[in-house]
Chain A
């Protein structure tokens, strides 16, 4: 099976670029085909890139607090554009202010995200989860 493509980007008007650059290097090293859209990415840009590259997952980052506004409707847009099975992850400081992780996770799961990550997540752990989620989706599809 070929290396799965994943789309990376920082959503909305957010220009936090450091973590995005690290994730690019890391996930490429882990054998993913990384399509990195960089900072300030719109929902439509995420979805279009995922369609173009036949990506298995979209990893949305947000560090600046507007994630709650920016991420709403992304799942619907994916479905509308025919990406019925794509994996959606969100990670970072997703809401304004210090908020319990469970509360943030619930909010973003309700928005249709498969997994929600804290800003200090161990990337190796995230990569392992991503791999198993991709395999599970592929098994479902076949």
Chain B
């Protein structure tokens, strides 16, 4: 039975010995060696320090996504993003085979990439490259560097990359399972992520702070803020329980500026409230805003507009970090040049808007209160289903559809919730499935969707959801009838 308890060290050791056996590069990975290596990394290159400074000084840091199959090419890519892209924080995005623990296939991908002279993998296969290979990457850059992926079982990946000096690790037991896997039981992924968080806790106890970042945007497709907030707060609480001290919660841009500002504001207020209520005081909390995660227009000029709008919204919402898109988004993995262009376009806007404030406090405040109501409806039920235990409650909540992520691939997700835009582009709930939302909250959603149906002269239908999904790539926010 899963529970939200700190994993004891003896049990951790037993699991650890099995994990390190799953691929040859795991053998001989030593935490003490990792701690020694991490301690040599200067403060300005530590992820948690950069995030904390951003919060204290009210700055917004920019980070791209990037990863290719081979070490030298990956280093070239990251250095280019540092110099030409002016990135504040660097990523190492992991390829999709490694994310599914399919290291043999990653190995083939490495070989074929060598033969082809270009990357046939969509990311950096860190497990196959091992601790030494990963250290070459960490040592070659000057900025703080994070592992970004989508791995339901990231235990070996964490062991290797943390020992290699990466100072931040993205993901969580829900956010890297439900949107990223088909048949991984939630009990297993939550357990495996408690291991990752415990590992981070062990580094912390030895004086090495590793930043942890649950993945906010989930499926990146019309996810209403309250759903991603609830899951982010749960993952934050699970991480804190294992000894994590630097935690960054994320949110993916939805499209209406007022809803997006309300979302970042409410995420900050709710997380602090729930963390403190659970008895945590000694932690560093920050937020990350993801530029539009849905489908992009293929025209690069139009794609730049989507990027710039995300930058502008973030400049007003004031997260500590923005994850930046590239103008190649519609076509898949960007070149280093396109990736750097996305960064520079974002930089220009964020700098220009740094000193401005946007006021529509009435609407923003109204939306903040609605999101808070909705999150509380879900969180109360999760605690109730778990009889006070958040880990058990999360598993039960997904079974019951109390937690339900729109359009997720996992068979452990009920998949009954359908979101839709209202007449001003706010994300609302069309089908609530089994979400435990209060009647007056649902009445508000229905009223707002009714305004759109009236304006468009058509009944509310699944077609509107489809239209909304493809609207941005076709040049609009709301999927109006043609």
Q: Say yes or no: A22-B122 contact (C-beta < 8 A), given A13-B102, A96-B332.
A: no
Q: Say yes or no: A98-B328 contact (C-beta < 8 A), given A13-B102, A65-B333.
A: yes
**Is there an interface contact between B331 and A13, defined as CB atoms closer than 8 Å?**
no
A6-50 residues at the B interface, CB under 8 angstroms: 12-18, 20-22, 25-26, 38-40
Interface residue stretch chosen among B105-113, B371-379, B444-452: B105-113
For chain A, the bracket of interface size reads 20 to 34
With a CB–CB cut-off of 8 A, which chain A residues contact B181?
A: 15, 40
Report Cα–Cα, A39/B413, bound state, in Å. Answer: 14
With a CB–CB cut-off of 8 A, which chain A residues contact B219?
A: 17-18
Main secondary structure of the interface of A (DSSP, over half): loop
Counting CB contacts under 8 A, is B401 at the interface? Answer: no
Counting CB contacts under 8 A, is B185 at the interface? Answer: no
Report Cα–Cα, A16/B331, bound state, in Å. Answer: 14
Counting CB contacts under 8 A, is B187 at the interface? Answer: no
Main secondary structure of the interface of B (DSSP, over half): loop
A17 contact from B112, B121, B409, Cβ within 8 A: B409
Q: How far is the CB of A28 from chain B (nearest CB, A)?
A: 12
> Count the A-B residue pairs with Cβ separation under 8 angstroms: how many?
90
Q: Say yes or no: A13-B335 contact (C-beta < 8 A), given A39-B409, A119-B330.
A: no
**Is there an interface contact between A13 and B96, defined as CB atoms closer than 8 Å?**
yes
Q: Say yes or no: A97-B109 contact (C-beta < 8 A), given A18-B407, A39-B409, A66-B97.
A: no
Counting CB contacts under 8 A, is B53 at the interface? Answer: no
With a CB–CB cut-off of 8 A, which chain B residues contact A119?
A: 330
**Is there an interface contact between B96 and A12, defined as CB atoms closer than 8 Å?**
yes
Q: How far is the CB of A64 from chain B (nearest CB, A)?
A: 5
Counting CB contacts under 8 A, is B6 at the interface? Answer: no
**Is there an interface contact between A97 and B333, defined as CB atoms closer than 8 Å?**
yes
With a CB–CB cut-off of 8 A, which chain A residues contact B407?
A: 17-18, 21
With a CB–CB cut-off of 8 A, which chain B residues contact A97?
A: 118, 328, 331-335
Counting CB contacts under 8 A, is A103 at the interface? Answer: no
Q: How far is the CB of B31 from chain A (nearest CB, A)?
A: 29
**Is there an interface contact between A15 and B182, defined as CB atoms closer than 8 Å?**
yes
1/0 per residue B68-104: CB within 8 Å of A?
0000000000000000000000000001110110100
Counting CB contacts under 8 A, is B462 at the interface? Answer: yes
Q: How far is the CB of A19 from chain B (nearest CB, A)?
A: 9
**Is there an interface contact between B331 and A22, defined as CB atoms closer than 8 Å?**
no
Report Cα–Cα, A98/B332, bound state, in Å. Answer: 7
Counting CB contacts under 8 A, is A120 at the interface? Answer: yes
**Is there an interface contact between B109 and A69, defined as CB atoms closer than 8 Å?**
yes
**Is there an interface contact between B122 and A64, defined as CB atoms closer than 8 Å?**
yes
With a CB–CB cut-off of 8 A, which chain B residues contact A12?
A: 96
B433-468 residues at the A interface, CB under 8 angstroms: 462, 466
Report Cα–Cα, A39/B473, bound state, in Å. Answer: 22
With a CB–CB cut-off of 8 A, which chain A residues contact B334?
A: 97-98
Counting CB contacts under 8 A, is B119 at the interface? Answer: yes
1/0 per residue A105-132: CB within 8 Å of B?
0000000000000011000000000000
Q: Say yes or no: A66-B462 contact (C-beta < 8 A), given A38-B409, A40-B409, A96-B333.
A: no
Counting CB contacts under 8 A, is B120 at the interface? Answer: yes
Report Cα–Cα, A16/B466, bound state, in Å. Answer: 16
Q: Say yes or no: A66-B409 contact (C-beta < 8 A), given A18-B221, A39-B182.
A: no
Q: How far is the CB of A127 from chain B (nearest CB, A)?
A: 15
Q: How far is the CB of A97 from chain B (nearest CB, A)?
A: 5
Report Cα–Cα, A119/B470, bound state, in Å. Answer: 11
**Is there an interface contact between B328 and A38, defined as CB atoms closer than 8 Å?**
no
Report Cα–Cα, A16/B100, bound state, in Å. Answer: 14
Q: Say yes or no: A68-B120 contact (C-beta < 8 A), given A17-B407, A39-B182.
A: yes
With a CB–CB cut-off of 8 A, which chain B residues contact A17?
A: 179, 219, 407-409
With a CB–CB cut-off of 8 A, which chain A residues contact B119?
A: 96
**Is there an interface contact between A66 and B99, defined as CB atoms closer than 8 Å?**
no
B110-143 residues at the A interface, CB under 8 angstroms: 112, 118-122
Q: How far is the CB of B336 from chain A (nearest CB, A)?
A: 11
**Is there an interface contact between B182 and A65, defined as CB atoms closer than 8 Å?**
no
A29-88 residues at the B interface, CB under 8 angstroms: 38-40, 63-66, 68-69
With a CB–CB cut-off of 8 A, which chain B residues contact A16?
A: 409
CB nearest to A39 among chain B residues: B409
Counting CB contacts under 8 A, is B204 at the interface? Answer: no
Report Cα–Cα, A21/B112, bound state, in Å. Answer: 32
A120 contact from B122, B179, B298, Cβ within 8 A: B298
1/0 per residue B171-196: CB within 8 Å of A?
00000000111100000000000000
Report Cα–Cα, A98/B469, bound state, in Å. Answer: 22
Q: Say yes or no: A120-B473 contact (C-beta < 8 A), given A15-B179, A38-B182.
A: yes
Q: How far is the CB of B51 from chain A (nearest CB, A)?
A: 28
1/0 per residue B355-382: CB within 8 Å of A?
0000000000000000000000000000
Report Cα–Cα, A13/B118, bound state, in Å. Answer: 20
**Is there an interface contact between B97 and A13, defined as CB atoms closer than 8 Å?**
yes
With a CB–CB cut-off of 8 A, which chain B residues contact A69?
A: 105, 108-109, 112, 120
Additional A-B contact list (5), CB under 8 Å, known A65-B332, A65-B333: A40-B181, A68-B120, A96-B122, A96-B332, A99-B331
Can you offer 21 A-B residue contacts whose CB atoms are under 8 A? A13-B96, A13-B100, A13-B105, A17-B407, A17-B408, A18-B219, A18-B407, A21-B407, A39-B409, A40-B181, A64-B122, A65-B332, A65-B333, A66-B109, A97-B118, A97-B334, A98-B334, A98-B335, A98-B338, A99-B331, A119-B330
Residues of B within 8 A of A (CB): 95-97, 99-100, 102, 105, 108-109, 112, 118-122, 150, 179-182, 219, 221, 298, 328, 330-335, 338, 407-409, 462, 466, 469, 473
Across chains A and B, which 3 residue pairs bring their CB atoms closest together, nearest first? A17-B409, A93-B332, A65-B122
